[in-house]
Structure 1
Amino acid sequence: MVTLNGNSLTFSEVKKVLYDRDKVHFSEDSMKRVEESRKAVEKIVSEERIVYGITTGFGKFSDVLIGKEDVEELQLNLIRSHACGVGDPFPEIVSRAMVLLRANALLKGFSGVRPVVMERLLDLINAGIHPVIPQQGSLGASGDLAPLSHLALVLIGEGEVFYKGKRTSAIDALTKEDIFPISLTAKEGLALINGTQAMTAMGVIAYLEAEKLAYQAELISAVTVEGLRGIIDVFDEDIQIVRGYREQAETAERIRRFLSDSRLTTKQGEIRVQDAYSIRCIPQVHGASWQALNYVKEKLEIEMNAATDNPLLFDNGEKVLSGGNFHGQPIALAMDFLAIAVAELANISERRIERLVNPQLNDLPPFLSPEPGLQSGAMIMQYVAASLVSENKTLAHPASVDSIPSSANQEDHVSMGTIASRHAYQIIQNTRRVLAIEAICSLQAAETRGKEKMATATRELLEEARKIVPFIEHDRVFSKDIEKMADWLKTQTMNFAEKKKNKTKA
């Protein structure tokens, strides 16, 4: 059971809720804050004070006053009109994350929703009812209006959900779980949709997958070092210390440990004096990506516990402030950084693949073919990797440098943070396939040289991977191999690199 209080949600807890399907509930203190905040909204309505989004319209309509007899219709119209997202839905795990993060933000007690709204959000999580939310249509300010409107629809019994492996109507799923839809009252519709939870939820899932992938990239690259009989000296601790970057040093340390008992690595001058940059600079390049990942994690942890709607209520409603916490710029920049960092893991991986298959760059069978000429071996796998990294370069163009005015120029600068998070996620999927290709090629090369000479850690990877993709003895449809390897990397709950890291800590 994970307890939400609006202030201290961690990545560890998020993983428990998302992947282990832990139940959630709210702390007593957080619900007290919600109740006090709600009283403030009701007082504003009864006194007919002019407060944005409570007794006024939205966006450019902020100057239109709404009578207290119409505040409920105002909220319902808001949700229905703003639920205009398009395109394929977010992955179900992202939808689950979105509900979790929106609930946590509202529990901070600055948004003015009723306790029943919190209860329904947690009901969705605990019952495994996940809104179907189209991916496209958010500018990332004022928050993720369109995506979160599709989430809010489910609370009122409209829209669609993912439930028990099927896509169905919200009311059908709610009925089966004995969950009653609610009618939104003053401020509640706005509080539900004026936030950054779509980009943040997508960002959280992207980060968790990228972190795992970064560890796997290190172990796969270690196998490539063996397959190419690479020079181990470049991972020496002294080289890393004088540069001064902790992440670079940590990457080099993990690779040293992976290869500590390998008989396939060489010393400088033994076969060659220097390796190419894609081998020699693994700590520097992978380490720089780790720096970016650490930055992204820090920003996401802040945003997961942030109040991001508008207006916000302070001092029991005596102080109601309209601001811009819904603006997604911090996450937009972080997602662009994540996209670039992961794209670089693919870039350097593709160069290592080239060195594994190019007969002019190694002493292995050309293209790792079992019968060069008659059989093409891994020749076109390198083409696929090159195509994926080229696509990544297009996707890595920063979304955050773009902005376009909306709401009759009232909202004249937006973040495009949700686009940034979606692009980062797509880059991660592409990069995993590139690393899958490197894994296939590096394992083929190392096994060709003699698996008995491989390090303990890399041989363990070989033995497990061979259950997924066998040794190449004859040309076959390698598309299946690539997808199987990529799926295997994605579904590993504890990858080999993390195991080695944990052993190191012990």
Structure 2
Amino acid sequence: MSTMKPVRLDGRSLTRPQLVSVARGAPVELDEAQLPAVARAAAFLAEQVGREEPIYGVSTGFGSNADRLLGAKRTRSGGGADAMNPHESLHEELQRNLIVTHAVCVGEPFAADVVRAMLCIRINTLMRGHSGIRVQTLRALAAMLNAGIVPVVPQLGSVGASGDLAPLSHLAIVLLGGGEAFFDGERLPGADALRRAGLEPVTLSYKEGLALNNGTAQMLACGVLALATLEDLLDTADLAAAMTIDAFAGRLGAFAPEVHALRPHPGQVEVAANLRRLLDGSTLADIPYHLVPRYRPWLPDSWAMLCEERPHLDALRFDIGWDWVPFSQRHGREKFYQRFRPFRGGKKHQPQDSYSLRCTPQVHGAVRDAVAQAARVLEIELNSLTDNPIVFPDAQADHVEQQVISAGHFHGMPLALVMSYVKAAIPVLASISERRINKLVDPATSDGLPAFLIGNEDATESGYMIVQYTAAAIVNDLASRAHPASVYSIPTSANAEDHVSMGANEARHVLAMADDLGKVLGLELYTAAQALDLRRDMINAARELAAHSDAAALATKIGGGPRSPSDEAEAFLEEVEGLRAELAAAPEFRPGRDVSVAHDTIRSRIPFLDRDRALDAEVATAVALVRDGVVLEAVRAQRAG
């Protein structure tokens, strides 16, 4: 029995977090104040049937059979092993047959959280009191959910209009004692699952089959659960980008509030603000170009000059260096070299970073806006009526067609289109993350970091080379799955349903793609943590060298300077002394406070890669740290505390 707080359903106030809570095991309870409205609609239908009024799906057939009225008695009797009880009315048989003939999905079953969310959504919409379902049937559906019975719902079979007919029939058939369900960890016949839970099968009354299987619950459940994942992944993506920016000693001007006030897309403004928070306290970001050394391969005597006084430097597995800019190359650039010292190290002398860093607010922000638009639509859908026909028992009307109205609320296009939008956005976020990974491992773009983030002194090591391959493979797979399903309508039901949404496929794709996006972000955090260690340690080693040696010692790390006594050599040493003094006076270089928390969380589980080793378990750990929200929660806890 769940110890989670029950979620009360009234058809009007279900929220996305509440639905996620039910999906993860919370029970539901029906709002007693709303049940009289439910009962009125059911009683109204029974009254109209008694008057022999033709009502779609109640006293007529469904879909292309909508022009066929039910008779007073059967034309045909008998049947196969699954034939109905001869005492069952045609109205009951109609509803039962609707469920048992529509439960025809194929493929792997949905996970339990998706199915529980579908059940919750269906119960909530039926609580509106416009579907004609009886209170006792609604209570039975809630009891099945609360008992932990999870109907087996194969993933393939809905075209998204009339709603998710086939998958919702797999939900309802268990309520009738048919189909299959998971219960207490076992996959059982539906009747056995009900019996073990102490529940009885239900016989459906007027319109109840149609009420149970006519709606958008599958696409909505997948969409809501996907967004719950994506909203955390959006924050994780910002965190991964911030760690990469610190690893590059990047430029923060591109994230300034006054910049984004001039193009105030909500997501873009939010990402820029988030990056400023994540990078707050960084002394790596905006560091002057000339203070950043570039990697040079380690040699046994790389730090010999300081090892007696600073023995811990002997453990370093890198060397550092700069190139001096001779006076002959400064013509026309004198003003620049008055501001920045004439040394070229790891950072290029340019005032802007590459797009994958500088345009993070614009790209991440656009994805945020896509998710926000989807959230707006899904929140409306959560408390909407989505079956057909719609019953208005209290309406003043001259005839029943004004009280039982056939409409199209089951059509999933509102959800399908926003899921298409999100589906296109997911590869965008994964792609820019992969580009940052590539930038980190490629020595042509890494601003002075070692190739593939490994020393490789003996030419035997690959480091993080293949991590980028994995990210690239996932991005390509995401891109190939991003084509919108919603643009391909295939008519069904003998053209009675001549335009469908394919929203179920759309939302199902988004749910799976969100999981793969998390893998790419995990790989970026894994790679960025290595790069950050190297960048921080290289700059701090330069600082320590400067603080405990003289200009002549620092000059050994600088190429291009004159070595024979001359006026230029003297000027060279004066400029080296200026660099030494500036490095020595600098505080210890460190990343932003939030980035530090994320980095420490990763390092508590994955050590720095000093030499090549098997990476498969580490990659799996990095992916799990994102999937389980460990790194993100550590940062959030630090902010809250």
Return the TM-score normalized by structure 2: 0.76
Amino acid at match of 2:525: A
Paired amino acid for 1:346: A
Deviation at 1:497, TM superposition (A): 8.2
In 1, are the aligned partners of 2:115 and 2:150 still within 8 Å (CA)? yes
1:89 corresponds in structure 2 to: 109
Q: Is the CA contact 1:254–1:500 (under 8 Å) kept in the aligned structure 2?
A: no
Deviation at residue 395 of structure 1 after TM alignment:
1.1
Shift of 1:64: 1.6
Specify the alignment match of 1:8 in structure 2. Answer: 13
Distance in 1 between the 2:177 and 2:617 partners?
42
Q: What residue ranges of structure 1 are gaps of 5+ in the alignment? A: none
Superimposed CA distance per residue, residues 84-112 of structure 1 (whole angstroms, 9 cap, x where no aligned partner):
00111112110010000000000001110
Q: Pick the aligned partner of 2:523 from 429, 434, 437.
A: 437
Structure 1 Cα separation of the partners of residues 361 and 225 of structure 2: 25
Structure 1 residue aligned with 2:56, among 39, 42, 52?
Answer: 52
Verify: 1:428 aligned to 2:514, yes or no. yes
| Residue of structure 1 in register with 2:445 after alignment | 361
Higher mean C-alpha deviation, range 418-427 or range 215-224: 418-427
Are positions 1:36 and 2:40 aligned together? yes
State the partner residue of 1:328.
Answer: 412
Kindly indicate whether the alpha-carbon contact (under 8 Å) linking 2:132 and 2:208 is maintained by their aligned counterparts in 1. Answer: yes
Query: What residue identity is the alignment partner of 1:492?
Result: G
Which whole-Å deviations, capped at 9, do the CAs of 1:46-77 have from their partners, x for residues lacking one? Answer: 22211110011111111121136311111111
Is the 2:20–2:117 Cα contact (8 Å) retained in structure 1? Answer: no
Q: Equivalents in 1 of 2:105, 2:252: separation in Å?
A: 52
**Shift of residue 349 of structure 1?**
0.4
| Equivalent residue number for residue 348 of structure 1 | 432
Cα drift, residue 434 of structure 1? 0.8
Q: State the Cα distance separating 1:370 from its structure 2 match.
A: 4.2
The CA distance in 2 between the partners of 1:24 and 1:52, in whole Å, is 31
Distance 2:634 2:597 in 1: 11
Give the alignment's Cα RMSD to 1 decimal: 1.9
Paired position in structure 1 for 2:279: 259
Rate the CA distance shift 1:30–1:428 in 2: closer, same or farther, 3 A.
same
Task: Report the Cα distance in structure 2 between the residues aligned to 1:80 and 1:494, rounded to whole angstroms.
Answer: 46
Deviations 1:113-157 (A, max 9, x none): 111221122112222221111111110001101100000011112
Q: Deviations over 1:295-319 (max 9, x none)?
A: 1111001111110001110134841
CA distance in 2, matches of 1:341, 1:27: 38
Tell me whether 1:339 sits opposite 2:423 in the alignment: yes
Indicate which of 357, 378, 381 corresponds to 1:279: 357
Q: Describe the superposition over 1:281-301 as per-residue Cα deviations: whole angstroms up to 9, x where unpaired.
A: 001111111111111111001
Alpha-carbon distance, 1:378 to partner:
1.2
Q: 2:366 aligns with which of 284, 288, 291?
A: 288
CA distance in 2, matches of 1:261, 1:502: 13
Equivalent pair of 1:233/1:268 in contact (CA under 8 Å): no
* Residue 117 of structure 1: aligned partner: 137
Which structure's CA Rg is the greater one? 2
Please list, as runs of the form range in 1=range in 2, the aligned pairs for 1:54-453 lying within 5 A after superposition.
54-67=58-71, 69-266=89-286, 271=347, 272-316=350-394, 318=400, 319-362=403-446, 363-371=448-456, 373-450=459-536, 453=590
Identity across matched positions, percent: 41
Shift of 1:267: 5.2
Aligned equivalents of 1:340, 1:268: Cα separation in 2: 38
Shift of 1:257: 1.2
1:62 to 1:468, Cα distance in 2 relative to 1, 3 A = farther
2:256 counterpart letter in structure 1: D
Secondary structure class of the residue paired with 1:458: helix
Q: Does 1:464 align with 2:542?
A: no
Q: Which region of structure 1 is more displaced relative to structure 2, 237-246 or 301-310?
A: 237-246
TM-superposed deviation, 1:475: 3.1
- For residues 156 and 467 of structure 1, the distance between their equivalents in structure 2, rounded to whole angstroms, comes to 52
Decide whether the 8 Å contact of 1:370 with 1:473 is kept in 2. Answer: yes
| Contiguous gaps of at least 5 residues in structure 2 | 1-5, 73-88, 291-346, 538-588
Q: Which moved more, 1:151-160 or 1:261-270?
A: 261-270
- Post-superposition CA distance 1:414-442 (Å, at most 9, x none): 00001111111222122111111101100
Distance 1:42 1:477, change over 3 A: farther
More deviation in 231-240 or 445-454? 445-454
Q: What is the CA–CA distance in structure 2 between the aligned matches of 1:343 and 1:58, rounded to whole Å?
A: 40
Secondary structure of 1:488's match?
A: helix
Equivalent position SS for 1:230: coil
State the distance in 2 between where 1:496 and 1:240 align. Answer: 27
Distance 1:493 1:22 in 2: 23
Deviates more, 1:293-302 or 1:161-170: 161-170
**Do the aligned partners of residues 268 and 323 (structure 1) sit closer, same or farther apart at CA in structure 2, a change above 3 Å counting?**
farther
How many corresponding residue pairs?
503
Q: Which amino acid aligns with 1:117?
A: T
Length-normalised TM-score, structure 1: 0.95
State the 1:494 CA deviation.
8.5
**CA contact 1:216–1:496 (8 Å) conserved in 2:** no
- Other structure's SS at 2:131 match: coil
